[in-house]
């Protein structure tokens, strides 16, 4: 790539980078370029295909939206009705030997009586805590105790959130919660328990869309195709950012000069690549110590046979207990039949779910097929044995009755994504307050995205895309970035201010 100059440079072709590029292309306010190290778009919203033909996403992604602009872009990229499947979320928590409809805090009526009593008693105690409290909760654990009580904390919230985040709830803040965690109603819990009823769907993803073909990654490849090819550069790696000189150095030895930079790299990684004033670098590197993250292991298995009736049309499932290493399992074949090979594809059996059942016949046979995708977190305080995690995950599937010991596994997928989750740690907000203004005000760098701006509460695909869109509007016009600055505001409404058909 030859040396050249642009007004705005975008690094990364995940949802955030594509959002920035889409807005730049729409506004046509000067030359711009997007560079991406991988050979194709998608980033942490990509999809892998096993050699047997099973698709697995980089984690449990689904499409639901708070933004009209995001919807416009997705519809432009995949406009046909048969490009999508639409689903009602059917989600459960597996605990104490029963399947509890999601969210558990609204459905304690399904729990055994002992746990029902513990949860209701805890909710009563929590009301008293809220009345006496004079200050906001100091951490996530204190929020749980005030909002839910010790019963729900011990039955679900503490063990589940440790499995998800790989950090204790006492090491996490609670500003990120918003619409992501349902605060329970004591009246509803008691009434439903006495009447043996369950609550209906809750949350922003009670209904969701999923692409018919090519998985979640197919969405972003389709969006990327709507951008001009001469401005999007794949397999192009940035090796250094000259902050003072406003220049990106590339692996091939060339450079791109810019006036404004929208970076979607992890902000900690960006700082390692940044050439800036020594005093600023010292401050920035020190501030990154307040940022925590976890690794996500995605383990997928493709199975031969009809989808079991016990699984039915379930979407994704949560697992707080230690009989499985994963915190979430997705019935990935339920999202689209094209996530599995066709019935007439002949595949060999790699193993029975329980290897003690012996060595299976290796003769290639036909389907039908179905698939499971599990997620396991890892951090310094929650290590993972890389040599055993796949076998432990498959055994966990047996333990929680997702599959049977004699089920035939025809495909196994495992990929670790580091980073996987941006942890809402106690030091996160102070770190971001120290880092982001320096990058922007002194070096014209807007660090945005799931790890670029490190805010999980605006880390879904629609949020991430709009972080890029709004970063461009900020860079060009000085517009406020409502997604970055006011997550609760954008999450509490339908955002219609921007549309694709007008600037």
DSSP secondary structure, 241-300, as one string? EETTTTEEEETTS-EEE-SEEEE-S-HHHHHHHEE--HHHHHHHHHHGGG-EEEEEEEEE
Give the confidence band of 204 by pLDDT, cuts at 50, 70, 90.
Answer: low
Domain boundary among 423, 439, 454: 423
Q: Does pLDDT of 179 surpass 90?
A: no
Q: Does pLDDT of 203 surpass 60?
A: no
Element (H, E) at 351: strand 351-352
Please tell me whether residues 306 and 410 are part of one structural domain: yes
Residue 500 within any structural domain of the chain: no
Please tell me whether residues 297 and 403 are part of one structural domain: yes
Residue 97 within any structural domain of the chain: no
Please tell me whether residues 40 and 9 are part of one structural domain: yes
What percentage of the chain exceeds 90 in pLDDT? Answer: 81
**Alpha-carbon dihedral of residues 108, 112, 118, 121, nearest 10 degrees?**
60
Residues 6+ apart with CB under 8 A from 327: 160, 163, 164, 318, 319, 320, 375, 376, 377
Please tell me whether residues 73 and 221 are part of one structural domain: yes
* Amino acid 106: pLDDT: 83
The answer to which of 143-147, 261-265, 321-325 has the lowest mean pLDDT is 143-147
* Amino acid 1: pLDDT: 63
Residue 55 within any structural domain of the chain: no
Residue 502 within any structural domain of the chain: no
Please tell me whether residues 430 and 405 are part of one structural domain: no
* Amino acid 168: pLDDT: 97
pLDDT (mean) for 435-447: 97
Please tell me whether residues 272 and 299 are part of one structural domain: no
Please tell me whether residues 309 and 340 are part of one structural domain: yes
CATH at 9: 3.50.50.60
Mean pLDDT of the chain: 93
* Amino acid 3: pLDDT: 82
The answer to which of 48-52, 129-133, 348-352 has the lowest mean pLDDT is 129-133
User: Whole domain around residue 372: which residue ranges?
Assistant: 293-423
Cβ density class 435-471: b for 16+ within 10 Å, e for less: bbebbbeebbbbbbbbbbbbbbbbbbbbbbbbbbbbb
Please tell me whether residues 244 and 280 are part of one structural domain: yes
DSSP states along 326-342: -SEEE-GGGT-GGGS--
* Amino acid 193: pLDDT: 85
Domain boundary among 423, 454, 471: 423
Give the confidence band of 169 by pLDDT, cuts at 50, 70, 90.
Answer: very high
pTM value is: 0.93
Domain boundary among 139, 167, 195: 195
Please tell me whether residues 447 and 478 are part of one structural domain: yes
* Amino acid 246: pLDDT: 98
Q: Does pLDDT of 490 surpass 70?
A: yes
Per residue in 91-121, pLDDT (tens digit) is 899 999 999 998 888 889 899 999 999 999 9
pLDDT (mean) for 459-481: 96
Please tell me whether residues 324 and 270 are part of one structural domain: no
Please tell me whether residues 181 and 231 are part of one structural domain: no
* Amino acid 178: pLDDT: 66
Give the confidence band of 176 by pLDDT, cuts at 50, 70, 90.
Answer: confident
Residue 475 within any structural domain of the chain: yes
Per residue in 50-86, pLDDT (tens digit) is 999 999 998 777 778 899 999 999 999 999 999 999 8
How many Å apart are CA 217 and CA 92, to the nearest integer?
26
Please tell me whether residues 337 and 298 are part of one structural domain: yes
- The answer to whether the beta carbons of residues 482 and 66 sit under 8 Å apart is no
DSSP SS3 for 365: strand
Per residue in 317-338, pLDDT (tens digit) is 999 999 999 999 999 999 999 9
Question: What is the DSSP secondary structure assignment for residue 359, as one 8-state letter?
Answer: P
* Amino acid 188: pLDDT: 83
Q: Does pLDDT of 205 surpass 60?
A: no
State the total domains in the chain.
Answer: 3
Residue 353 within any structural domain of the chain: yes
Per residue in 384-409, pLDDT (tens digit) is 999 999 999 999 999 999 999 999 99
């Amino acid at each position: 790539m030859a040396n050249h100059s642009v007004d705005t440079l975008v690094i990364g072709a995940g949802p955030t980078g594509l959002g920035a590029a889409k807005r730049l292309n729409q506004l046509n306010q000067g030359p711009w370029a997007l560079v991406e190290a991988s050979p194709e778009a998608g980033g942490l919203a990509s999809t892998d295909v096993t050699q047997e033909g099973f698709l697995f996403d980089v984690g449990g992604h689904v499409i639901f939206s708070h933004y009209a602009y995001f919807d416009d872009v997705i519809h432009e990229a995949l406009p046909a009705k048969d490009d999508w499947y639409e689903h009602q979320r059917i989600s459960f928590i597996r605990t104490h030997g029963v399947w509890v409809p999601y969210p558990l805090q609204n459905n304690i009526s399904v729990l055994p009586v002992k746990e029902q009593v513990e949860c209701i008693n805890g909710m009563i105690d929590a009301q008293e805590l809220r009345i006496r409290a004079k200050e906001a909760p100091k951490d996530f654990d204190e929020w749980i105790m005030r909002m839910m009580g010790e019963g729900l904390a011990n039955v679900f919230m503490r063990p589940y959130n440790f499995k998800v985040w790989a950090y204790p709830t006492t090491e996490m803040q609670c500003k990120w919660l918003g619409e992501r965690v349902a605060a329970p109603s004591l009246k509803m819990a008691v009434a439903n328990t006495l009447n043996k009823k369950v609550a209906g769907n809750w949350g922003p993803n009670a209904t969701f869309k999923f692409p018919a073909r090519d998985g979640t990654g197919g969405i972003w490849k389709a969006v990327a195709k709507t951008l001009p090819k001469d401005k999007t550069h794949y397999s192009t790696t940035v090796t250094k950012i000259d902050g003072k000189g406003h220049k990106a150095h590339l692996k091939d030895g060339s450079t791109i000069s810019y006036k404004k930079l929208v970076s979607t790299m992890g902000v900690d990684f960006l700082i390692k690549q940044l050439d800036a004033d020594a005093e600023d670098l010292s401050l920035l590197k020190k501030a990154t110590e307040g940022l925590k993250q976890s690794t996500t292991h995605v383990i997928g298995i493709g199975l031969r046979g009809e989808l079991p009736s016990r699984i039915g049309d379930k979407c994704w499932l949560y697992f707080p207990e230690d009989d499985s290493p994963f915190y979430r399992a997705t019935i990935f074949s339920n999202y689209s039949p094209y996530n599995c090979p066709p019935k007439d594809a002949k595949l060999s059996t790699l193993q029975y779910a329980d290897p003690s059942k012996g060595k299976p016949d290796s003769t290639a046979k036909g389907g039908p097929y179905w698939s499971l995708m599990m997620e396991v977190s890892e951090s310094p305080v929650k290590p993972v044995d890389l040599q055993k995690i796949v076998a432990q995950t498959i055994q966990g599937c047996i333990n929680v009755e997702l599959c049977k010991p004699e089920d035939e596994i025809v495909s196994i997928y495992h990929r670790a994504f580091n980073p996987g989750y941006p942890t809402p740690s106690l030091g996160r907000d102070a770190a971001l307050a120290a880092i982001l203004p320096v990058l922007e005000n002194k070096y014209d760098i807007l660090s945005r995205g799931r790890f670029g701006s490190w805010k999980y509460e605006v880390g879904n695909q629609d949020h991430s895309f709009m972080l890029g869109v709004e970063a461009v509007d900020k860079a060009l016009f000085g517009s406020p970035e409502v997604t970055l600055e006011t997550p609760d505001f954008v999450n509490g409404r339908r955002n219609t201010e921007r549309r694709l058909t007008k600037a």
